[in-house]
A and B are shown apart, each in its own frame.
Chain A
Amino acid sequence: MAVLVIAEHDNFALKGATYNTVTAALQIGGDVHVLVAGSGCAGVAEEAAKISGVNKVLHADGAVHAHAKPENLAAQVLDLAHDYTHVVTPANAVGKSFMPRVAALLDSSQISDVIAVVSRDTFVHPIYAGNALATVQCVDPVIVLTVRSTGFDAAQKNGQARVEAIPVAAESSYSQFLSQQLTRSDRPELAAASIVVSGGRGMGSSENFKLLETLADQLGGAVGASRAAVDAGFMPNDYQVGQTGKIVAPQLYVAVGISGAIQHLAGMKDSKVIVAINKDADAPIFQVADYGLVADLFEAVPELTKALA
């Protein structure tokens, strides 16, 4: 029996979360196959074949998968699913969109955002914004899971699996791709960065976020934001860390001008070391911070950047 991992990628490279998801699949047990469905993504299939522990890569290449359309991806996975005990994918925007379709069509209940594998049929996932952890047992013939990448280490890259081309699913007529606007950044990917510097409402403006960008660049880290900062238009939506944004667990998380609402903590409280810089000594963020500095961020952040130079 085998586990099918549906790789996440952008047709040029695998997303880091795929490596963490393979680790989860290896913990479930059995052979691990990776499906790379995309358009002009032969290089990605080769990359997937090098992940340690992967036995086979299935490569479905066609224009229908150019934009990871959930209707098409679900159809592709359904064609294969009955040969597997488990189908798993990262709990990112793409996986969250197509995987429940697969589960519904298999008549399986999906377990979302798995952070630990207890056994072949039992998994742990957070509920209530991470304020409780549910251990769930699932008896479906094909168990459907999405995996929270921060719950598992990344798999190594010294594998030698074979790549097998498979037929591409038919185009669904439900939806049509119109356009895409991606945020450009040279910094590391937020969800996978080892250092994250985040700003909240206290930053005051979009211009002031440059202070954090300079600090992040000094540390080689990524920049994040709280919902308040995103709602105020200081930063684009895809920078949001929290229950409804990205979940991060870096080595170092620096929260600047962030009060620490339940919904924000849900996205970062598994970070190894948390630093809070806030002028309000009673801000809830200080209850989870390893190191807290009660100070005006407009003085402390430039000083910190200078001290690290």
Chain B
Amino acid sequence: MKVLVAVKRVVDYNVKVRVKADNSGVDLANVKMSMNPFCEIAVEEAVRLKEKGVATEIVVVSIGPTTAQEQLRTALALGADRAILVESAEDLTSLAVAKLLKAVVDKEQPSLVILGKQAIDSDNNQTGQMLAALSGYGQGTFASKVELSGDSVAVTREIDGGAQTVSLKLPAIVTTDLRLIEPRYASLPNIMKAKKKPLEVLTPDALGVSTASTNKTVKVEAPAARSAGIKVKSVAELVEKLKNEAKVI
């Protein structure tokens, strides 16, 4: 079976971002970019499925600027077979991304689509669910375990009070939680091999998808800064401060 994995190029998770002075957005010039951590987990899960002999082909797709090819090459080095870039320089909403992915799903007809549960830049946690709705598929969000058998997939999900297991009819959409799997590192030989793997570039127009947005970002601001308080010398002083100064206990 074919597995489709969606990956996003985002600011590296260790970077402390700064808001631009004109409040138009976050300053991403000269900032380290990487594959979204949840997407790395999605790629790893797909590669494991292939290693188990369950998946036969892994297609990795990204929607974004030309530079997102770097993240697709990373996914190819990790074990994906071929890549698709839907090139768009705009800042797309999750809905636009879901529509583009739906067009790719229609074209590729995968049995399983794996995405990260959220991108660490927009923090939306929407795309997988929207793709499932548009495709008319079931969804297994926040997956911590994925088990394929025949024409269904059992997904153990992280929920607020613990965990829940659901069975989805294939084709289905799964979004990964951090707990799903530990991603591997790409080896140098695999990075070299990845350069020769196929990478197709498409446009939203070619897929017949309009990415027009109904949302407009009015401004982006830094949150109110929280300043460091004081260091206390002893537990007794801490209790005294909490009781009499902060009055929280």
Contact = CB atoms under 8 A, between A and B. Distances in A.
Chain A partners chain B: yes
Interface string A115-141: 000000010001111111111111110
B162 interface: yes
Nearest to B102: A104
Interface stretch (B43-51, B53-61, B77-85, B126-134): B126-134
Given A103-B130, A129-B123, A237 B158 contact: yes
A181 B165 CA distance: 9
Instruction: Tell me what chain B mostly uses at the interface: helix, strand, loop, or mixed.
Output: mixed
Contact of B130 (A104, A251, A273): A104
B139 interface: yes
Contacts of A122: 218
A293 B238 contact: yes
Given A130-B223, A304-B239, A308-B249, A108 B138 contact: no
Given A128-B120, A129-B120, A174-B172, A137 B231 contact: no
Nearest to A131: B17
A244 B117 contact: yes
Contacts of A292: 228-232
> How large, as a class, is the contact surface on chain A?
35 or more
B231 A288 contact: no
Nearest to B27: A132
B94 interface: yes
A293 B129 contact: no
Contact of A109 (B93, B131, B219, B238): B93
Interface stretch (B186-194, B197-205, B208-216): B208-216
B248 interface: yes
A27 B199 CA distance: 49
B160 A92 contact: yes
B17 A128 contact: yes
A260 to B, nearest CB: 11
B169 A174 contact: yes
28 contacts: A94-B159, A96-B129, A96-B141, A97-B141, A97-B142, A100-B128, A100-B129, A100-B133, A107-B95, A109-B214, A112-B126, A128-B26, A129-B120, A131-B17, A132-B17, A133-B220, A138-B214, A176-B166, A177-B164, A178-B165, A183-B161, A243-B120, A243-B123, A262-B16, A291-B231, A292-B229, A294-B231, A308-B239
Interface of A: 10, 67, 69-71, 74, 92-94, 96-105, 107-113, 122, 126-140, 172-183, 191, 195, 219, 227, 230-231, 236-238, 243-244, 246, 251-252, 262-263, 269, 272-275, 281, 286-295, 300, 303-304, 307-308
Given A103-B95, A112-B124, A178-B154, 7 more contacts: A129-B123, A134-B220, A136-B215, A136-B217, A178-B166, A263-B13, A274-B226
